[in-house]
């Protein structure tokens, strides 16, 4: 099965603490994605260190081929029990999703994972067994595209305790809320931010516990091909354009000169627009067979700004549903794509040599490289071809 694992998380620190006592590690491999959520005992620096050690040890060992038994044994020998409460120093949830769709889940004292199929909760069969005197729940199951998996720390189910809810939010209520908020286009980031926002509200913005939500969305692979700028050698125009047009997936053209070359070689007309949805962003055009046609460098600069804001927004979700070219391109690259192939032409645009318009080839290449870096940080496969 050709799938992409969209994984993201968001956390709230316990009120008054600078560090979160929960920690999440996401490791992407060739054939699988490993997600570990660890919740350290207590809060603050000690909890943060314990959760970080637990999540990193487990994720690293599993990624290197160790069994869960070996990983738990290592943690047990590394992190002793709390002498006061005789409890393990960190609880954890482990989810490994393979490219085939097969999943491996291990839970130790964390709230149960929530799985949605077509927006409805589906129970996961679990087997209990002891590993080094720790009672863990183990599951193996298969996911389909559009399935959603949500891992939570106990700060989620404790939200509202002693404030607006006597017994906290409770797992069943969290499950019901997730079912109600589901939409088919929900991304992992949107899910984690939305659920965490509710927790923050229930805590009246004064979290009584470290709180973490990990969203995992199983998506069908979506290739996107972006051409910005013509090749440095005009004789390569037709070869590069024909290769670009044969690529599978969505196609985006950035730049007026590039659009004209596409139009000339494919024989398809350009439908220009003078509708400035956003005065700071040039309008889009239309070419048959091309999913989106935008201006070049200015639009890409805005896309980079959107991408950096999206990645750096800790507990908020940025919406790309505006109709300007930069928002449309950001939505395709960030929300829809799973793999992106950039065709970057190195021909110098005469318009960019104007002293009043100080853009050059180096800036264009840097823009693409920075956008590619952002996309890779989101787990997407990115290829940059410079022609």
For residue 107, give the CATH number of its domain.
3.60.40.10
* Whole-number pLDDT of residue 356: 47
Same domain, 184 and 58: yes
| Mean pLDDT value of segment 246-265 | 93
The tokens for 214 are 């990990």
The mean pLDDT of the chain is 88
Domain boundary among 218, 244, 279: 218
Same domain, 199 and 83: yes
Same domain, 78 and 115: yes
* Whole-number pLDDT of residue 237: 87
- The tally of domains found in the chain comes to 2
* Whole-number pLDDT of residue 357: 46
**213-217, 322-326, 353-357, range with greatest mean pLDDT:** 213-217
Residue 379: which domain range? 223-386
Domain boundary among 187, 218, 249: 218
User: Which of 73-77, 89-93, 198-202 bottoms out in mean pLDDT, i.e. has the lowest?
Assistant: 73-77
* Whole-number pLDDT of residue 358: 44
**82-91, 220-229, 306-315, range with greatest mean pLDDT:** 220-229
Domain boundary among 196, 218, 240: 218
Same domain, 148 and 272: no
Same domain, 192 and 229: no
In the predicted model, is pLDDT for residue 195 greater than 60?
A: yes
**Could you read off the pLDDT of 354-378 as tens digits, one per residue?**
544 444 567 888 999 999 999 999 9
Residue 89 contacts by C-beta under 8 Å, 6 or more apart in sequence? 40, 41, 50, 54, 79, 80, 81, 82
* Whole-number pLDDT of residue 85: 58
Count of residues making up the chain: 387
Same domain, 210 and 273: no
Residue identified by tokens 């290739």 is 223
Same domain, 52 and 193: yes
**Could you read off the pLDDT of 97-130 as tens digits, one per residue?**
999 999 999 999 999 999 999 999 999 999 999 9
Same domain, 366 and 274: yes
CA dihedral 61, 122, 5, 65 (to 10 degrees): 20
């Amino acid at each position: 099965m050709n799938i992409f694992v969209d994984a993201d998380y968001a956390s709230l620190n316990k009120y008054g603490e600078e560090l979160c006592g929960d920690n999440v590690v996401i490791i992407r491999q060739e054939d699988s994605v490993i997600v570990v959520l660890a919740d350290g005992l207590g809060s603050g620096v000690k909890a943060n260190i314990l959760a970080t050690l637990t999540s990193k040890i487990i994720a690293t060992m599993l990624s290197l081929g160790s069994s869960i038994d070996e990983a738990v044994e290592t943690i047990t020998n590394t992190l002793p029990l709390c002498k006061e409460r005789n409890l393990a120093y960190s609880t954890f949830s482990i989810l490994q999703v393979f490219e085939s769709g097969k999943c491996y889940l291990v839970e130790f004292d964390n709230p149960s994972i929530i799985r949605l199929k077509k927006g409805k909760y589906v129970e996961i069969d679990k087997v209990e067994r002891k590993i080094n005197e720790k009672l863990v729940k183990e599951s193996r199951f298969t996911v389909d595209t559009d399935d959603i998996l949500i891992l939570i720390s106990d700060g989620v189910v404790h939200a509202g305790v002693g404030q607006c809810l006597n017994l906290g939010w409770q797992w069943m209520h969290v499950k019901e809320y997730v079912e109600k908020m589901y939409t088919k286009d929900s991304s992992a980031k949107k899910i984690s931010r939305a659920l965490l926002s509710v927790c923050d509200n229930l805590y009246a913005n004064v979290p009584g516990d470290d709180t973490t939500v990990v969203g995992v969305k199983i998506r069908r692979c979506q290739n996107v091909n972006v051409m910005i700028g013509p090749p440095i050698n005009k004789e390569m125009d037709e070869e590069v354009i024909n290769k670009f047009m044969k690529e599978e997936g969505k196609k985006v053209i950035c730049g007026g000169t590039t659009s004209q070359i596409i139009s000339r070689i494919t024989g398809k007309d350009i439908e220009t627009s003078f509708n400035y949805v956003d005065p700071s962003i040039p309008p889009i055009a239309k070419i048959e067979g091309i999913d989106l046609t935008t201006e070049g460098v200015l639009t890409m600069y805005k896309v980079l700004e959107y991408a950096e804001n999206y990645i750096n927004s800790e507990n908020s979700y940025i919406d790309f549903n505006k109709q300007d070219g930069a928002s449309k391109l950001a939505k395709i690259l960030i929300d829809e794509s799973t793999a992106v192939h950039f065709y970057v032409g190195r021909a110098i645009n005469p318009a960019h040599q104007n002293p009043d318009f100080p853009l050059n080839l180096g800036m264009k290449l840097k823009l693409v490289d920075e956008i590619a870096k952002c996309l890779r940080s989101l787990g997407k496969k990115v290829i940059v071809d410079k022609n």
